[in-house]
Amino acid sequence: MLSILATTFPFFALVLAGYAATRRGLLPVSAIAGLNSFVLYFALPCMLYRFGSQTPVAQLLDPRVAAVYLASGVLMVLGTVAATRARWGWNDAAFGALVAAFPNSGFMGVPLLVALLGEASAGTVIPTMALDMIVTSSLCVALSRLSLGEGSAGRALRLALAGVLANPLPWSIALGGLASAASFELPGPLEQTVAMLAAAASPVALFTIGAVLARSQMNHAEAVAPRDYVPVALAKLLVHPLLVWLGCQLARLAGWPLPPLAETTLVLVAALPSASNVSLLAERFEAHGGRVARIILVSTALAFLSFSAAVALLT
């Protein structure tokens, strides 16, 4: 367990550093958008492209991974909405469900799981990112509009899909997969440039997570009862990975077993804390940003121990 904590500690320490720097004013809030843009449009796409181009296409497109992860995510969304809609309504319940089902697989998951399980695990993490960005997010955005009348869900779904098309991460995943299928290699100087940007992705992304969490807390100082966010954060860390693990067992019983590394990786992806970018999406659709921000903050704080414990159980 100590060796696992020694591996996970630097990742969470960088998140804490970004949080503390923002709270103490060492990092201006106005600078966070620039950090986020660097990670989103430069460093992280390069990292995903490199991992995708070095991963066999069959692993990137494994239908077993997609089926288990997507089914678990849909169950997580529907269960969270059912448990919270009466108190919060469709809009806030839907974004609470999104933050319960959408792990921080991009900014945190890829580098952390590669450090723990090796580069081969990236081939399982990357498809889950695409599913969350395209399917899970679109489903929750559509659900959030159900209270607005006929046609609102459809319009929201089209808006969500337009956002996916404008996001560089799915494109970098697709280009990496095409490069892998074609055995294409970038010219030496360009490859070195991409490698340098990819190397910057992990530390800057983790620091940015902390900064975004601090900004969200500072921007949403209104009181929210713990009962409105702690259970959702615990569901993200405990129920979501349990659903994925059960899905893997059902797949095995059905004669459709996942490779051991893929199964372990998939469960650990679900055990990650909530994705920090969900708070921005919630604000865009006028959901309760303070509640979403607190779910993300609590899940990230608790994940240092809960995620490390999951690693110890599975490896």
pLDDT of residue 156: 63
Helix axes 63-101, 240-253, angle to 10 degrees: 160
Mention every residue, 6+ apart, whose C-beta is less than 8 A from residue 223. none
Overall number of domains in the chain? 1
What pLDDT, in 10s, does the model give residues 58-117? 888 899 999 999 999 999 999 999 999 999 999 999 999 999 999 999 889 999 999 999
CA distances to 148, 155, 203, 279 from 21, rounded to whole Å, are: 40, 39, 14, 20
What pLDDT, in 10s, does the model give residues 248-280? 999 999 999 999 999 999 999 999 999 988 887
- Mean pLDDT for all residues in the chain: 90
CATH classification of the domain holding 186: 1.20.1530.20
- Residue listed under structure tokens 């340098």: 196
For residue 165, give its domain range. Answer: 2-314
Please give the model's pTM, rounded to 2 decimal places. Answer: 0.90
Entry field: residues in the chain: 315
What pLDDT, in 10s, does the model give residues 8-50? 999 999 999 999 999 999 999 999 999 989 998 999 999 999 9
pLDDT of residue 138: 86
Of the pLDDT bands very low, low, confident and very high (cuts 50, 70, 90), residue 157 is low
Of the pLDDT bands very low, low, confident and very high (cuts 50, 70, 90), residue 154 is low
Nearest to 267 by CA among 105, 107, 133, 80: 105
pLDDT of residue 279: 82
pLDDT over 80 at 308, yes or no:
yes
Inter-residue contact 170 to 130 (CB < 8 Å) = yes
Inter-residue contact 256 to 263 (CB < 8 Å) = no
pLDDT of residue 284: 79
Nearest to 89 by CA among 139, 141, 145: 145
pLDDT of residue 280: 78
